[in-house]
Amino acid sequence: MQLQVTNLRKQIKGKSILKDVSFTLEAGQIGGLVGANGAGKTTLMKSILGMISINQGTIKVEQQVVSVQKKTALHNVGSLIEYPALYPYLTGWEHLRLFANDDYNQKETEDLIAALEMESYLKRPTRQYSLGMKQKLGILLALINQPRLVILDEPINGLDPNGTKQVRDLILRLQKRGITFLISSHVLSELEKMIDVLIIIKDGVILKQTTLRRFQHHSQQRLRITVDKFDLARKLIGANEQIEISDTALMVPVAELQTLVPGLNANGIHIQTVESERDDFENNLLQLLK
């Protein structure tokens, strides 16, 4: 299913939370929504699900408008926002029966349970569940009615490494069936393993929407340089924010090299080694979100 958000604005108590937010996810894409706490991620997801009203803009799922009043298009949408809302005295199985549509697919549900390795505790009341167990149940409830679009807010919160891999593998498996995902997560290393499209939000504004491949391709190339008079070089560079100084080396963007080398030479500082490396996904995102 295609998801299209256009010029979305949301104010709460006079404060602008979302400011002309626009992005599109095509059917079968996995979009990663990235931003600091308070950037507007959860508000955006709740708006898409018709949970809260918006002040301006349009939200469309498969070209059908979604709002608090119009939710027909959400029939094929599953979601987990913030923490799963569970009844402590009901078992996992009872939650599944409560949330499942009349036409739900039992075989598909059993496959999901097996993929998340939940068989051993589904008959226990959820008050006995760990945080990770509750999180898996929340994900299962988001998927039980075979949605074509799934919106997940911090889906791997509370999961151990094995549970994180189970969720990741399941999402990638469902993507192959053409299911679209919008996922927010602070665990950037895991997000990088799943997404096709990167949506970066800061202070309610979309800074960038791009494919993961393109973002990685344009990652800033840097040079790791060692010199013979390191302390002198450190003083010479001073407060240049473009150059990172470690205990033994200078991390220099390629674009800064032409400015740096003449200054080093003029002060009798000789370069000993030069190694090329590229900023990783997490570092690049953090630089954008500063």
Q: What is the pTM of this model?
A: 0.79
Q: Do the strands 30-34 and 197-202 form a parallel or antiparallel pair, or are they unpaired?
A: parallel
Band the pLDDT of 277: cuts 50, 70, 90. low
How many angstroms separate the Cα of 144 from the Cα of each of 116, 127, 137, 172?
Answer: 13, 21, 10, 16
pLDDT at 193: 92
Report whether pLDDT(254) > 60: yes
Average pLDDT, the chain: 91
DSSP string, 40-75: SHHHHHHHHTTSS--SEEEEEETTEE--SS--GGGG
Residues 6+ apart with CB under 8 A from 140: 92, 96, 109, 112, 113, 116, 118
Residue 209 dihedral angles phi and psi, to the nearest 5°: -125, 125
> What are the residue ranges spanned by the domains of the chain?
3-217, 221-289
Q: Do domains 3-217 and 221-289 have the same CATH topology?
A: no
Following CA atoms 166, 168, 169, 170 in sequence, which dihedral angle do they give, to the nearest 10 degrees?
Answer: 80
pLDDT at 279: 59
Band the pLDDT of 236: cuts 50, 70, 90. confident
Enter the tokens of residue 197.
């499209």
The more confident residue out of 88 and 238 is 88
- Give which of 254, 228, 225 is closest to 242, Cα–Cα: 254
pLDDT at 219: 59
pLDDT tens digit sequence for 151-202? 999 999 999 999 999 999 999 999 999 999 999 998 888 998 999 999 999 9
pLDDT tens digit sequence for 73-123? 999 999 999 888 899 999 999 999 999 998 888 899 999 999 999 999 999
DSSP 220: P
pLDDT tens digit sequence for 37-54? 999 999 999 999 999 999
Residue 149, SS3? strand
pLDDT tens digit sequence for 2-61? 999 999 999 999 899 999 999 999 999 999 999 999 999 999 999 999 999 999 999 999
Rounded-to-integer distance, Cα 161 and Cα 142, Å: 21
pLDDT at 31: 97
For domain 221-289, the question of CATH label 3.30.70 is answered with: yes
CATH number (3.40.50.150, 3.40.50.300, 3.40.50.2300, 3.40.50.720) of 3-217 reads 3.40.50.300
Q: Do the strands 250-253 and 77-80 form a parallel or antiparallel pair, or are they unpaired?
A: unpaired
pLDDT at 220: 59
Q: Do the strands 250-253 and 271-278 form a parallel or antiparallel pair, or are they unpaired?
A: unpaired
